């Protein structure tokens, strides 16, 4: 492996040099201005910082400080913070595990459901990654591998390739939104030092004082039913929502089969 600049101009793919390196399309720098500095160490330091203080704490200068290096030395490996974000997400996602449903020859519903649950576990391990803006379709190795796996789950459904992409976006969007709500609640719990149950109890007490049976008849009935106070089984909301999303996809597949 030869020494070269990780922040050089994009290659034929149009991707930044560090992302091409992740694909194995070009060599990574073997050493930097500070001995021991590497792209892997930079990404690991950024991920550790995001995990402990949030994505907003990540900057080229702060990461350099964590590594005991100069900010300019980082630009030899990563040309911009947005590029570093992609590499952080790549590290957080990891490669998807094989879908047992596919290996067992199960149907698309089982496979796609397993894929969704796996994504949820990945996000919950790395809630900070949900704060990184989505700037385009997946282009890093692990993100492409996740899409590939989702598309494979839909093989044999009769859906067009365009419909498959829409299904993947629908399911992954549902998973991401549920994980984002979890992240928001976790932040509130941590900030206020109270449990999720207490957060909901406070909300219910507040709404009870504010709702008007005339203007809010449906909400009044909901509060009177006590449903908000009844504990749900773990993962109930995610499982319920995912099953309804899969129900809708099944209707689409059956419709395509009849046409």
Q: Do residue 83 and residue 124 come from a single domain?
A: no
CA geometry: angle 213, 214, 220, nearest 5 deg: 25
Q: Are residues 80 and 145 in the same domain?
A: no
- In the three-class reduction of DSSP (H, G, I as helix; E, B as strand; rest coil), residue 151 is classed as helix
Considering the domain architecture, whether residues 153 and 109 belong to the same structural domain is answered as yes
Based on the number of CB atoms within 10 Å of its own CB, is 46 exposed (0-12), middle (13-18) or buried (19 or more)? buried
Domain identity same for 184 and 254? yes
What is the SS3 assignment for 62-113? HHHHHHCCCHHHHCCCCCCHHHHHHHHHHHHHCCCCCCHHHHCCCCHHHHHH
Give per-residue pLDDT as tens, 136-188: 888 899 999 999 999 999 999 999 999 999 999 999 999 999 999 888 887 77
CA distance 163 to 146: 17
Average pLDDT of the residues in 20-49? 79
Range of the domain at 84: 17-93
Where does the pLDDT of residue 24 fall: very low under 50, low under 70, confident under 90, or very high at 90 and above? confident
136 in the same domain as 244: yes
The pLDDT confidence band at residue 3, using thresholds 50, 70 and 90, is very low
Q: Is residue 221 part of a domain?
A: no
Residue 201 lies in a domain: no
User: Residue 30 corresponds to which tokens in the numbers above?
Assistant: 């073997």
Q: What's the confidence (pLDDT) of residue 21?
A: 82
Last residue of a domain, one of 64, 93, 122: 93
Q: Which helix (H) or strand (E) holds 242?
A: helix 236-258
Tell me whether residue 134 is in a domain. Answer: yes
Q: CATH number, domain at 247?
A: 1.10.357.10
- Tell me: do 28 and 118 sit in the same domain: no
- Given a contact cutoff of 8 angstroms between Cβ atoms, the answer to whether 172 and 150 are in contact is yes
- Cβ 223 vs Cβ 204: under 8 Å: yes
Q: Residue 154 falls within a domain, yes or no?
A: yes
12 within domain boundaries = no
Does 35 share its domain with 55?
yes
Among the candidates 39, 62, 93, a domain finishes at 93
234, exposed or middle or buried, with CB in 10 Å at 0-12, 13-18, 19+? exposed
Among 25, 59, 93, give the residue marking a domain's end: 93
Any domain includes 8: no
Say yes or no: 59 and 131 in one domain: no
Question: 43-101: per-residue pLDDT in tens?
Answer: 999 999 999 999 999 999 999 999 999 999 999 999 999 999 999 999 999 999 999 99
**133 and 72, same domain (yes or no):** no
Q: Is 206 helix (H, G, I), strand (E, B) or coil?
A: helix
Query: Do residues 232 and 131 both lie within one domain?
Result: yes
Residue 198 lies in a domain: no
Lowest-pLDDT range, 140-149, 221-230, 237-246?
Answer: 221-230
CATH number where 63 lies: 1.10.10.60
Whole-angstrom CA distances from 209 to 202, 221, 222 are 11, 14, 14
58 & 170 share domain: no
Q: Are residues 72 and 111 in the same domain?
A: no
Residue 51, both tokens: 């995990």
Max distance between CA atoms of the chain, in angstroms, equals: 75
- Looking from the CA of 62 toward its CB, the CA atoms found within 13 Å total 15
pLDDT tens for residues 36-54? 789 999 999 999 999 999 9
Report how many domains make up the chain.
Answer: 2
Region 237-258: mean pLDDT is 95
Given a cut of 50, whether residue 2 has pLDDT beyond it is no
**Over 80: is that where the pLDDT of 1 sits?**
no
The answer for 158, left when phi > 0, alpha when psi is -120 to 50, beta otherwise, is left
pLDDT given for residue 30 in this prediction: 52
Residue 243 forms part of a structural domain: yes
Q: How many residues does the chain have?
A: 259
Give the 3-state secondary structure of residue 198. Answer: helix
């Amino acid at each position: 492996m030869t020494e070269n600049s990780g922040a050089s101009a994009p290659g034929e793919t149009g991707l930044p040099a560090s992302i091409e390196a992740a694909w194995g399309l070009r060599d990574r720098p073997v050493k930097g201005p500070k001995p021991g500095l590497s792209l892997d160490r930079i990404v690991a330091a950024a991920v550790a910082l995001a995990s402990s203080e949030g994505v907003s704490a990540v900057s080229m200068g702060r990461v350099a400080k964590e590594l005991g290096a100069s900010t300019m030395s980082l630009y030899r490996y990563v040309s911009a913070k947005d590029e570093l974000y992609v590499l952080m997400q790549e590290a957080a996602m990891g490669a998807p595990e094989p879908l047992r449903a596919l290996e067992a020859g199960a149907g698309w519903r089982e496979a796609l459901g397993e894929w969704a649950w796996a994504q949820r576990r990945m996000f919950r391990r790395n809630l900070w990654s949900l704060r990184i803006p989505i700037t385009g379709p997946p282009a890093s190795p692990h993100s492409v591998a996740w899409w590939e796996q989702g598309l494979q789950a839909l093989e044999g459904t009769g859906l067009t390739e365009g419909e498959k992409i829409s299904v993947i976006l629908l399911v992954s969007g549902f998973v991401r939104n549920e994980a984002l709500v979890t992240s928001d609640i976790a932040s509130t719990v941590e900030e206020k030092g109270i449990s999720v149950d207490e957060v909901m109890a406070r909300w219910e007490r507040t709404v009870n004082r504010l709702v008007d049976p005339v203007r809010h008849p449906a909400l009044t009935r909901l509060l009177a039913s006590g449903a908000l106070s009844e504990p749900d089984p773990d993962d109930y909301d995610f499982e319920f929502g995912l099953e309804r999303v899969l129900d809708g996809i099944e209707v689409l597949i059956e419709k395509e089969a009849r046409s």
